[in-house]
Amino acid sequence: MSTTTPARAPHGGARTGRGPSRRRAATGLFTPRHLAAALPEAFRKLDPRSMARSPVMFVVWAGAVLSTVLTLGDPGDRFGWTISAWLWLTVLFANLAEAVAEGRGKAQADTLRRARTDTVARRLLDDGREEHVPGTGLRIGDLVVCEAGDVVPGDGDVVEGVASVDESAITGESAPVIRESGGDRSAVTGGTRVLTDRIVVRITTKPGETFIDRMIGLVEGADRQKTPNEIALNILLASLTIVFLLACATLPVFADHAGARLDMVVLVALLVCLIPTTIGALLPAIGIAGMDRLVQRNVLAVSGRAVEAAGDVSTLLLDKTGTITLGNRQAAEFVPVPGVTEAELADAAQLSSLADGTPEGRSVVVLAEERYGLRERPGGEPAGAEWVAFTAQTRMSGVDVGGRRIRKGAAGSVVAWVRERGGTVPADADRITEGVSAAGGTPLLVAVEDADGPRVLGVVHLKDVVKDGMPERFAELRRMGIRTVMVTGDNPLTARAIAEEAGVDDVLAEATPEDKLALIKREQAGGRLVAMTGDGTNDAPALAQADVGVAMNTGTSAAKEAGTMVDLDSDPTKLIEIIEIGKQLLITRGALTTFSLANDVAKYFAIIPALFAAVYPGLDKLNIMRLSSPDSAILSAVVFNALVIVALVPLSLKGVTYRPVSADRLLRRNLTVYGLGGLVAPFAGIKIIDLVVSALPGIG
């Protein structure tokens, strides 16, 4: 896999993907503005066809309808009207949670729609002529011409030319990027604007199926499919609902046998309180919010299944260049031969690098300045200096100035240059060079010819610099139980040195596309889920095979089609954040499910003793809250059942705070915080509401 850092246009900075993502993430989660915008949609979702998608909330909706119809027969029944009103509020609050989550995605979709403009495409004919056609009239395989100022009419690959492209409408980044034919940065997206030059694009998608179209559908939630875990949880909730429905259906029989009477409205309220309404109401919002958290970080997931799979990943494949390391070799130290000082070597190395515009050359200048206090010469170029440019043939560069000739380059080339001038190379130079190579670095030999003759001064140690914080992040992944594998085309010696410094668990050196695919299959055969990043056509097979394949937006169309996610910022390290988001989604769903089920247990002990204590005096011992009356008990439980949904909406949207801990510790935290909290909260909440309800005329 090639380096995935986006190419920069002139005067443009490389993207990091952090700025816009943070700006979007900083918006409020549950503000009055969001509520006002989502309220109409919440009422529209009261349609029974919409409610039927959630079995639990459909039962609540049916109960609200039934209680309303029954209360219509007795217009003076204040208790019945109050129960009916709070049942409708329960349904409305559940719809509101989903509507707020969807609303945040629709705001992003509106921005994307503004980027999707109706364009006129310049389609290239077989005879070389151009014809103007609507962008909607393009078909897969058509060639279109785009010049400075043109909007790209559809998704495709550059097959001719190179141009600077503004992708801010999609990524939020103002810095333009380079798109060119014949490489891994050939993909262009419909709706982006060409800033300079001329390119020919081969269309790869049908109208209405472009990248922006798919993004709009996904961020709105229209294309969100339920994940396997979500489907399984829905089945569990439906099963519990059926069990409690049957249990409530038998209660009138027991009540009649005991000489008591249970009103149908009371039975409906009791059923709603006992079924898992809390998690049933919040489950859609949790899933939508998980997708939204990815969008906030400029990541497009093909489906919710991909987000969930990210939370279960156990093996992570990361490219070395641009992901673990900065992507450019940097000068790390100056190692002089005996008889030469470090300052003398640094001065010569810096002088020979002043006109070197490569990242390696600039790093030599910076290192000499920072470590030895050597400043760049005024103007950057000493007077009378004659620069020797680097060529593939000589494999070295340098400068002739002030009666000195300085050369810097590959060890073999510099040694040959010294010997051609009658100089000798000390054995220490060979030893230092071999030591740098053995450590996985690249040695640059520095030599000078002056009044003392030609001689070697020492070695500049170039190395792939591991990004700041990477060892700590890999340690976090290890605590999460995730095995990290560095994939690189470097030789095993260099790869092993970088792997040890970065702290990855394993390394695949001299990797070919076939090697990556084979590694993924071996991991999956062992029952592990695998995630990887890629950007090139040669990465497409491995991206398709991986459980979570994150394609870079700068990559080819083949890579983006093969992956399950696309990173609009083309930041390979974001894969670590994606896994954290996936785990946060699973943790949030598990935590709120635990809280909801614990709630139901507590509500059972709050309501049943109050209802039957008069008939079965022994149950009064379980009425530990000493609720005022059966009517007050049931109404207090219904009110609490509705309010707890509203209270948990911000948590379902924001997500439970994720910490990289083991599964055992995570389970203990869930049981302690959300399990115990779910048991205690209803007792306290229902008692407080009971004190208020009991004072109301006609109810208490």
Residue 626: CB atoms within 10 Å: 10
Write down the residue that tokens 């011992």 correspond to. 621
**490 a catalytic residue:** no
Q: Residues within the annotated binding site for Mg(2+)?
A: 535, 539
Q: Residues within the annotated binding site for ATP?
A: 356, 360, 390-397, 408
Helices within 277-358 (DSSP H only): 277-296, 304-311, 342-353
Which one of the listed residues 157, 213, 319, 600 is annotated catalytic?
Answer: 319
**What span, in angstroms and rounded, lies between the C-alpha atoms of 138 and 115?**
18
Q: Which two tokens stand for residue 320?
A: 């070395």
Q: Going along 356-412, which residue ranges are E strands? A: 386-388, 396-401, 404-409
Name 255's Cβ contacts closer than 8 Å, sequence gap at least 6.
261, 262, 612, 615
**What span, in angstroms and rounded, lies between the C-alpha atoms of 520 and 527?**
11
Check residue 151 and report its DSSP letter. B
DSSP assignment of 476-516, as one string?
HHHHTT-EEEEE-SS-HHHHHHHHHHHT-SEEE-S--HHHH
DSSP assignment of 187-223, as one string?
EE-TT-EE-SSEEEEEE-S-TT-SHHHHHHHHHHTTT
Name 562's Cβ contacts closer than 8 Å, sequence gap at least 6.
534, 539, 540, 541, 543, 544, 549, 551
Name 432's Cβ contacts closer than 8 Å, sequence gap at least 6.
335, 337, 443, 458, 459
How are the residues of the chain apportioned to helix, strand and coil, as percentages rounded to the nearest 5?
Answer: 50, 15, 30
Phi-psi region of 422 (alpha: psi -120 to 50; beta: other; left: phi over 0): left
- Please give the C-alpha separations between residue 414 and each of 333, 354, 388, 393, in angstroms, as whole numbers: 19, 19, 13, 12
For 148, phi and psi rounded to 5 degrees? -55, 130
Q: Residues within the annotated binding site?
A: 356, 360, 390-397, 408, 535, 539
Burial of residue 662 (number of CB atoms within 10 Å: 0-12, 13-18, 19+): exposed
**What span, in angstroms and rounded, lies between the C-alpha atoms of 141 and 125?**
12
Check residue 226 and report its DSSP letter. P
Cβ proximity of 172 and 298 under 8 Å: yes
- Which amino acids are annotated catalytic? 319
